[in-house]
Structure 1
Amino acid sequence: MIRAGIRDALDRIREDFPAREDLKILLSLCDPDEMGYLHATACIVRNTYCQERIALRALVEISSVCKNSCRYCGLNRYNREASRYTMRDDEVMQSVRLAAKQGFRTVVLQSGENGCSSQAIAQLISQIKQEFPVAVTLSLGERPWEDYLAWKQAGADRYLLRIESTDDELYRSLHTDRALSSRMECLEQLETLGYQVGSGIMVGLPGQSISTIARDIQFFAEKQFAMIGIGPFIPHPQTPLAKAKRGDLNLTLNTIALTRIVTKYPWMPATTALGSLQRDYRKEGLQAGANVIMPNFTPQCYKNQYVIYPNKQSKTENKKSLEQLARRVGLSIDYGRCDSLLPGWA
């Protein structure tokens, strides 16, 4: 039984800019029928604006070196137990080659911040674009304008830079040496340079509230990113937040669903974090409106060294298993580049 107030709130956020109070009501849903109604609505929106398909992104974690001290991340510079590596170019190319051979048309190069020099990244992008018919997505953190420009000129197509929270006080509590304004400036620079830009948040961070998440969703509705990643907070044992409570699954799924409903167009991954809980919940993420899977193509010798959070799902999945997952949720795999779906994007 779906309460009339829930239907009304959902109708309002579909038709107009979402009010925070409506978002808070819908984020708090825990009744299975009402959650199912919310998630089914998100899937209708996804299928209408993005088609009934899943995009594939091949993830390659090129370096675990990071200069930052983010309190939630296992790669933070104060974690003396973290293993540090930087892949050689030939190792990265081999990973991209393997992904391209399996039909992937997007590769995501991810690293800790300042794990690689700007010139090295530019050369790597150029080499990838010359050899393979793939889109290159970067997830390398906050960098100077000059780096973003050099990488775009080298052929990079997209950039992922998660805000984690739009609450300035919460952001400062998580990033002792960073300001939210700096991250916002980087996002604006990336858009100006013509990147397809993605962002995202973690759900369940210490100090985060339902109201905070509602404000994040309003931010996504206003900015209209090409990609939005939402996953649960998972505490890492070698971080200051080691004893914090893990993010709630239902709240994470509701956040995915509401973000889908109010933004309509973005590519939204069923994140690796969803696949790293008690069991793999990526299917539930897809059933809440997500439409991207990011299999990990990092070489096996490095996978266990890129530990942002514990028990990270990192197995390399084959096409058969991915297609089976898609069929289980009534979708098909799109092996194309799957560029931005935002209106006006050429």
Structure 2
Amino acid sequence: MKELIDRLYEMEQLSREEWKMLLSHRSEETDQYARSLADEVRQKVYGNDIYVRGLIEFTNYCRNDCYYCGIRRSNKNAQRYRLTEDEILFCCQQGYELGFRTFVLQGGEDSYYTDDKMVGLIHKIKEKYPDCALTLSVGEKSEKTYSAYREAGADRYLLRHETADPAHYGKLHPDSMSCENRKNCLRVLKKLGFQTGAGFMVGSPYQTVDDLVEDFIFLKELNPEMVGIGPFIAHQDTPFREEKSGTLEDTLFYLALLRLMLPQVLLPATTALGTIHPKGRELGVKSGANVVMPNLSPVSVRKKYMLYDGKICTGDEAAECRHCLSRRMEMIGCRIVSDRGDYKSK
């Protein structure tokens, strides 16, 4: 398997059969080899700088009913909330004072935030913080809407594809949602000039090696600037409440493969990774990740944005989150930088 890992490192394209072999015939030795090589590549491209993104979870209303998600439309136990424009701007102010130069507005697909409301909000954030990047993560929209966000000043857009295989996608989502539409949204975002982020769940229900092969091939073709992957973690108020979580080992191995396949990619060590292991984010960085996303949302709403059970960092103030992560990164020889942290093209 080391030969296939070396070929990824040398930027060669693997066939479906080779991907299947690499993902099926793993050992602790090959996992460690991939992770060590990915750590080298991260340092070569980005040094030991770790970029922070200030995450603002501004609404947990969602029109969708994804079977794995705690804020799905059918969850009657979810305590719904929406932040006002002033509350969102206050989160940005706090974040800016703490050294954040990227804000991520993340929420469910909430029709309350019309195009006009979102465009107005984007304008205000970019006018007030022109040296900052603004990332949106608000789901599937029309090309017209994405274009309006881009023209208003949004720089990046996160839209995890979740799984690139249509049959697997259908097992995780209701019939009203389509794998092809999801992928097409990502292609449109790339076309419009967004730094675009895709990604998949690790260990989601019914996931097979063939599904994962499709994920890696799709990501290679899309060539996104950002990839977010994290372990599936069940939520008690979803149809998947009894399903087992994705593993730390799988997530770290796939992070490493992504870094080798897409050397310049912005790759987060996610909150979900930190949730399944106390040093999950540090291990993620040592496996090729170079982004962390502390929470800037008001403490009063953090426990309400519960996509999965046991989510960490629901009680800390923004400053505590930031300083805690700084210390954690320093302990593994890295440093958090006050920087927009843009994608480095070749």
Is 2:284 the counterpart of 1:285? yes
Inter-CA distance 93–29: structure 2 relative to 1 (3 Å threshold): farther
In structure 2, the residue matched to 1:145 is 143
Superposed CA deviations along residues 272-318 of structure 1, whole A, max 9, x for unmatched, are 10111253411111111100000001101110111110111223345
Q: Structure 1 runs of 4+ off > 4 angstroms?
A: 28-31
Q: Distance in 2 between matches of 1:10 and 1:181?
A: 30
2:57·2:106 contact (CA, 8 Å) conserved in 1? yes
Task: Identify which of 151, 165, 176 aligns with 1:167.
Answer: 165
Could you tell me which of 322, 326, 332 is aligned with 1:323? 326
SS at match of 2:199: strand
Query: SS of the counterpart of 2:271?
Result: coil
Q: Which residue of 2 aligns with 1:218?
A: 217
Matched residue type, 1:144: S
- Out of 332, 336, 341, the residue aligned to residue 339 of structure 2 is 336
Kept after mapping to 2: 8 A contact 1:23/1:258: no
CA distance in 1, matches of 2:275, 2:117: 31
Could you report, residue by residue, the CA deviation over 1:92-139 in whole angstroms, capped at 9, with x for unpaired residues? 011110100011100000000125222111111111111123110000
Whichever residue aligns with residue 59 of structure 1, its letter is L
| Distance across 2 between alignment mates of 1:330 and 1:26 | 30
Q: Which amino acid aligns with 2:166?
A: D
Q: Aligned with 2:340: secondary structure?
A: coil
Q: Which amino acid aligns with 2:287?
A: A
Which moves more between the two structures, 323-332 or 75-84?
Answer: 323-332
SS state at 2:228 partner: strand
What displacement does 1:332 show?
2.0
Shift in alpha-carbon separation, 1:318–1:165, aligned structure 2, 3 A: closer
Deviations 1:142-179 (A, max 9, x none): 01222111111111110001100100001111111211
Aligned partner of residue 181 in structure 1, secondary structure: helix
Q: Structure 1 residues 7-16 or 79-88, which shifts more?
A: 7-16
What do the CA deviations read for 1:227-247 (whole angstroms, capped 9, x no partner)?
Answer: 000100001110111111111
Residues 318 and 272 of structure 1: is their aligned pair in 2 closer, same or farther, counting only changes over 3 Å?
Answer: closer
Q: Which residue of 2 aligns with 1:41?
A: 37
Structure 2 residue identity aligned to 1:337: R
TM-score (normalised: structure 1): 0.93
**Alignment-derived partner of residue 3 in structure 1:** none
Indicate the larger mover: 333-342 or 168-177: 333-342
Query: Which of 82, 87, 91 is 2:87 aligned to?
Result: 91
Quick one: which amino acid aligns to residue 125 of structure 2?
I
Matched AA of 2:107: S
For the 8 Å contact 2:68–2:235, the answer to whether it is kept is yes
CA distance in 2, matches of 1:318, 1:157: 24
Percentage identity across aligned positions? 37
More displaced 10-residue stretch of structure 1: 214-223 or 177-186: 214-223
Q: Structure 1 pair 324/25, CA: closer, same or farther in 2 (3 Å)?
A: farther
Are 1:14 and 2:17 matched, yes or no? no
Aligned equivalents of 1:320, 1:76: Cα separation in 2: 32
Higher mean C-alpha displacement, 43-52 vs 263-272:
43-52
Q: Give the Cα–Cα distance (whole angstroms) in 2 for the partners of residues 232 and 270 of structure 1.
A: 11
Structure 1 residue 130 corresponds to structure 2 residue 133: no
Relative to structure 1, is the Cα distance of residues 58 and 250 closer, same or farther in structure 2, using a 3 angstrom cutoff?
Answer: same
Q: Distance in 2 between matches of 1:195 and 1:139?
A: 12
Change (3 A) 1:99 1:28: farther
When normalised by structure 2's length, the TM-score is 0.93
Taking the aligned partners of 2:199 and 2:308, their CA distance within structure 1 comes to: 17
Unaligned runs of 5+ in 2: none
Q: Which moved more, 1:324-333 or 1:89-98?
A: 324-333
Matched-pair contact (CA < 8 Å) for 1:58–1:295: yes
